[in-house]
Amino acid sequence: MAKYKSHLLVCGGTGCRASESDAVFESLKAAIAEKGLEQEVQVIMTGCFGFCERGPIVKVLPDNTFYTQVKSSDAAEIVAEHIIKGRKVNRILYTDPKTKEHISDSKHMGFYKKQIRIALRNCGVINPENIDEYIARDGYQALGMAFEMGPQAAIDLIKKSGLRGRGGGGFPTGVKWELALQNKADQKYVVCNADEGDPGAFMDRSILEGDPHSVIEAMTINGFCIGASKGLIYIRAEYPLAIQRLKIAIGQAREYGLLGKDILGSGFDFDLELRYGAGAFVCGEETALIHSMEGDRGEPTFKPPFPAQSGYLAKPTIVNNVETFANVPVIFLKGVEWFTSIGTEKSKGTKVFALAGKINNVGLIEVPMGITLREVIYEIGGGIKNGKKFKAVQTGGPSGGCLTEKHLDTPIDYDNLIAAGSMMGSGGMIVMDEDDCMVSVAKFFLDFTVEESCGKCSPCRIGNKRLYEVLNRICEGKGTMEELDRLRNLSQVIKDTSLCGLGQTSPNPVLSTLDNFYDEYLDHVQNHKCKAGQCKALMNYVIDPEACTGCTLCARVCPVNAISGERKMPHFIDTTICIKCGACMEKCKFNAISIQ
């Protein structure tokens, strides 16, 4: 490889590409070419840096300078000033929101300080479309180590590391592998679950887009450990970039003899195929996923038999999540002792979270297990947007629950989150502020579950629909006290009697909001009030006669003529006509209109 003096890394993740990082990449290349620096400076498009809030991101190596919200028009200046003259372009450096100082080195940014990147170790560092860059970062060494150790010793290593499934359940990965090793069969399969369907989680996509080889290497190790010669990656068809990069990576691995026959002279054969999901959340459940790969409706079936006993085409099958696989090679390289030194007693290592919602630093973060919510929200996330008050954080997606202020100092791990009435899930972490109505949030998740329920078992198909209807009535101010009790009872029945993980966890958003925000439910039912001002049926727009100047603007924008009043006199909204569109409040220049 050519030796370059410095590198310009442009984020090629979905978030940054949506804000046109492609154009930034091309402009930087053009600017470098114009100055004749192609032999000294390399421009690379990498995977996600995680700091999606301020994309597009450009990082300059070796000095770690971190430019945010870069436009293609900035390219010439970056090259002329930074690369040639060595002067950083302050204008686009990250500014610390507290001290208002420019921070040039990403290591000193609050967003990165508390992070430990294991699964994301190569994201934003290497060019995902070049296998040499992965190999230069010790890629495919773990595979060689596994070959030397032999299957049982390699499985023992994973068992000792305490690695647990990162897709949601938290099942010990090594134990799963051992079960598949013990089951004798002429053909076994390794499956990577990349059907990321949790709304608000995108870590699997970022890993596949930023570091596809780590997953390919881990799947090959897994295949060697259990004696499987075939691997399948089940990926969402909605992830075109991840699919494209996986295809490139698989092609390169075959070319290098890292996939195919007699890998690295070990006598072991392994190859990979892609299978496409078609948009069904329930296919994240492993039995449903297997049925979908067989060309059927993705409906789950009863366990046992577990897939490790009888899975794809009735052969022993291991299904692991993308993030779980991404952890595997590092455990071989750095050892069990190092891995187990990170995390809590029963949850080792790190977890990737997609931090989003009403928070200043939206992005993808990887933190050690045992970190507190407070550290995540206030130190990494930079606090709540627009200085509003923190209300809740939702983890675990549609299967999880809401955590509140009292959970802020609880160390995050699998068991603590379940004890708090939520779960780890795949790692969505949505922050909500005082303007979010928790009944509406529960309704939002139930709406999702109703739509995504496969319909096979009645508790999930019918029960969730009834839960949704009750929540809807409460949001319209038509709920009764009896219905509040019914919500809780029905939730419990659905949890106890549903067939698969989706149904068994679907009432969690209802139960956790009932537990933590019962007052809000009461307010809706008894006082017909929604304090957050989200439930339209319960709101009334009111004009403050003191503040109103009688400018008539509100009356003119009202689409249903519900506002009356003389010019220069206080106006009045007729609530029987008002459709609560909010146009008047938006237009009022005197803040005279409020929601009550």
Partner 1 sequence: MSHIKVELKKEDVAKLKEICKSFNNKPGELINVLHQAQTHFGYLPAEVQEIIARELNISVAKVYGVVTFYTFFTMIPKGQHPISVCTGTACYVRGAENVVEELKRALNINVGETTPDGKFSLSCLRCVGACGLAPVVMVGEKVYGRVSPDGVADILKEYE
Chain positions contacting partner 1, by CB under 8 A: 14-15, 17-19, 52-55, 196-202, 205-206, 237-239, 275-281, 292, 294-298, 313, 354, 356-358, 362-363, 394, 397, 428, 430, 432, 436, 441, 444-445, 448, 454
C-beta closer to partner 1: residue 465 or 568: 465
Say which residue the tokens 């409706």 belong to.
297
DSSP-derived letter for residue 260 is B
Shortest distance in whole angstroms from residue 132 CB to partner 1: 27
Q: CB of 280: closest distance to partner 1 in angstroms?
A: 5
527: which residues sit within 8 A by CB, 6+ positions away?
A: none
* Smallest separation (angstroms) from partner 1 to the CB of 341: 31
Q: Please, what is the minimum distance in Å from the beta carbon of residue 200 to partner 1?
A: 4
The residue among 54 and 524 lying less far from partner 1, judged by its C-beta, is 54
The pair of structure tokens assigned to 467 is: 């839960």
Q: How far is the CB of 31 from partner 1 (least distance, A)?
A: 25
Q: Which residues pair with 66 in a beta bridge?
A: 59
Residue 112: which residues within 8 A CB-CB, separation 6 or more? 106
Question: Of 97, 135, 110, 99, which Cα lies nearest the Cα of 51?
Answer: 110
Nearest distance in Å: CB 166, partner 1 = 17
Cβ proximity to partner 1: between 11 and 142 the closer is: 11
Output the smallest distance, CB 18 to partner 1, in A. 4
Rounded to 5 degrees, what are φ and ψ at 90? -55, -35
Which lies closer to partner 1 via its Cβ, residue 17 or residue 166? 17
Q: Are 74 and 39 in contact (CB under 8 A)?
A: no
Please tell me the total number of residues recorded for the chain in this structure.
Answer: 596
DSSP-assigned beta bridge partners for residue 232:
191, 273
Return the exposure string of 428-465: e unless at least 16 CB atoms fall within 10 Å of the residue's CB, then b. bbbbbbeebbbbbbbbbbbebbbebbbebbebbeebbe
Nearer to partner 1, 436 or 523 (CB): 436
- Residue 278 or 569: the one with the smaller Cβ distance to partner 1 is 278
Task: Provide the Cα torsion 300, 304, 307, 312; round to 10°.
Answer: -60
Nearer to partner 1, 265 or 295 (CB): 295
Asked if residues 40 and 6 have their Cβ atoms less than 8 Å apart, the reply is: yes
Q: Which residue's structure tokens are 């996986």?
A: 246
What is the rounded distance in angstroms from the CA atom of residue 540 to the CA atom of residue 542? Answer: 6
Nearest by Cα to 218 from 261, 245, 249: 249
In the complex, minimum distance from the CB of residue 247 to partner 1, in angstroms, rounded to a whole number: 15
Element (H, E) at 469: helix 464-475
Q: Toward partner 1, which CB reaches closer, 57 or 548?
A: 57
Q: How far is the CB of 435 from partner 1 (least distance, A)?
A: 9
Task: Give the nearest distance from C-beta 281 to partner 1 in angstroms.
Answer: 7
Half-sphere exposure of 260 (CA within 13 A, CB side): 11
Nearer to partner 1, 316 or 363 (CB): 363
Give whichever of 354 and 373 is closer to partner 1, judged by the CB atom.
354
Give the integer Cα–Cα distance in Å for 548 and 550.
Answer: 6
